[in-house]
Amino acid sequence: MNERNESSQCTCPDMIIETDGFSDNNPFRIARKQLDEAAAIMNLDHASHEILRWPLRELHVAMPVKMDNGTTRIFHGFRVQYNDARGPNKGGIRFHPDETIDTVRALAAWMTWKTAVLDLPLGGGKGGVICDPKSMSSGELERLSRAYIRQVGRMLGLEKDVPAPDVYTTPQIMAWMADEYSFMQGNNEFGVITGKPIALGGSAGRTDATARGGIYCVRDAAEVIGMNLAGKKAAVQGYGNAGYYAHKLAVDILGMKVVAVSDSKGGIHNPDGLDYTEVIAHKQATGSVNDFPGSSAISNEELLELDVDVLFPSALESVITSTNAANIKARIVAELANGPTTPEADNILYNNGVYVIPDFLCNAGGVTVSYFEMVQNTYGFYWEEEEIHKLLDKKMTAAFLKVHETAGKYSIHNRLAAYIVAIERVVEAMKLRGWV
């Protein structure tokens, strides 16, 4: 056997991460490190561990798009199908200038754990397009959305892979994508995409579902740690769909006072609380939360370290790291973003007694209502919003309690516990299917 064959047959776990030259904050390094830690605790068999360290499939695409100024620009994008042992791949599509294949791989892995921890009959996938949607016209965005579906459409299908919105993608973008896919198939197949507008087969309760699921988790976390949330302070980092609704529902459902919020351009602070109706109106009018009347300016970094009871990181990956984790003062960190905390920071938070509700549990409300949307599309029968809220609450609470109980059983932090719950379910499916 020559050297090359030998090394390709060597599946010792440490050959993959540490020698691959990933940078510290590379999300895929982080996703794998988390998996490795959980695998060690649960004594996961080698073949199962190895298959879970890789996406099963991924497609890299180039998309020519006609721009408004008459030129043609070539955009690049990806779709990663991480693991579909439990059902069709499921996960959003991000439009972001800093998108990379490793980010999409990590996010697809987290979708696999997310659907498993919620016990949804789905796998995990993710898509991404490298672009700056803020500098594109609506026409350009539509042409890019359609071009993306023309390229990745061959991988999609109700039983194969079902995308949804994510960072900087909207229900309108989902509508264009569902339309393009329907024309490719020659019949309406709205169920292939979730997060659609209601008029096109979207589900009631999908818009605020990500934040609502997280708010139910915060309610449950407060109960298990014996904390009364009414009148307590919260801060929200990120003011997109998840961040805005976290602000609204922390006030409306939990009776909290949200004292600081931020977006990519900066943040605002008012110790007496911020009114969500006024803040969103200001953001819509000016493009940012900055300079909101009656507030003082605060940076995103300062917001994370504020003396609040609940912190909602609701923007992007790797914002709580070994550099700032020791300065986090919140008692509960509710991760509405995907991947906001690095593994090094996780240990610091755990040792400091911070109760972290990990991303793929905390933000799973979105995909859970997406699953309800798929069921409704297939059924051709649509539920009332109240019914969706009830079903979502039941699913989130069951997942929360299972993770909390597992953390107690092994004396580990909640993220590792959530991994153990999810891995057990994915491995059971892979074994039943005869993959390992």
Residue 254: CA count within 13 A, CB half-sphere: 32
Task: Provide, rounded to whole angstroms, the least separation between the CB of residue 363 and ligand GLU.
Answer: 6
Exactly one of 33, 90, 126, 395 is catalytic; name it.
Answer: 126
Among 29, 32, 79, 90, the residue binding ligand GLU under the rule CB under 6 A is 90
314 contributes a contact to ligand GLU by CB under 6 A: no
Which one of 215-223, 286-294, 347-355, 364-372 is the stretch in contact with ligand GLU (CB under 6 A)? 364-372
How much of the chain is in helix, strand and coil states, percent to nearest 5?
A: 50, 15, 35
Among 221, 261, 367, 416, the residue binding ligand GLU under the rule CB under 6 A is 367
Task: Provide, rounded to whole angstroms, the least separation between the CB of residue 40 and ligand GLU.
Answer: 26
366 contributes a contact to ligand GLU by CB under 6 A: yes
Among 27, 87, 88, 91, the residue binding ligand GLU under the rule CB under 6 A is 91
- Strand 332-334 to 355-357 pairing: parallel
Task: Provide, rounded to whole angstroms, the least separation between the CB of residue 373 and ligand GLU.
Answer: 8
- Tell me whether residue 194 or residue 406 sits nearer to ligand GLU (CB atom): 194
What would the two tokens of residue 147 be?
């071009």
Contacts of residue 101, Cβ cutoff 8 Å, sequence gap at least 6: 58, 60, 78, 80
Task: Provide, rounded to whole angstroms, the least separation between the CB of residue 370 and ligand GLU.
Answer: 3
Count of CB atoms within 10 A of residue 156's CB? 24
Q: Is 390 a catalytic residue?
A: no
Q: How many residues bind ligand GLU (CB under 6 A)?
A: 13
Question: From residue 411, how far is each of 171, 350, 416 by CA, in Å?
Answer: 41, 11, 10
Among 370, 376, 377, 406, the residue binding ligand GLU under the rule CB under 6 A is 370
What is the DSSP code string of 238-295?
--SHHHHHHHHHHHHTT--EEEEEEETTEEEE-TT---HHHHHHHHHHHSSSTT-TT-
Among 237, 262, 363, 414, the residue binding ligand GLU under the rule CB under 6 A is 363
Instruction: Tell me the backbone φ, ψ of residue 70, rounded to 5 degrees.
Output: 95, -10
Angle in degrees, CA 374, 371, 121, rounded to 5: 105
Among 151, 203, 295, 338, the residue binding ligand GLU under the rule CB under 6 A is 338
166 contributes a contact to ligand GLU by CB under 6 A: yes
Whether the Cβ atoms of residue 317 and residue 337 lie closer than 8 Å to each other: yes
Question: Which residues contact ligand GLU by CB under 6 A?
Answer: 90-92, 114, 164, 166, 194-195, 338, 363, 366-367, 370
- For the annotated catalytic residues, the residue numbers are 126
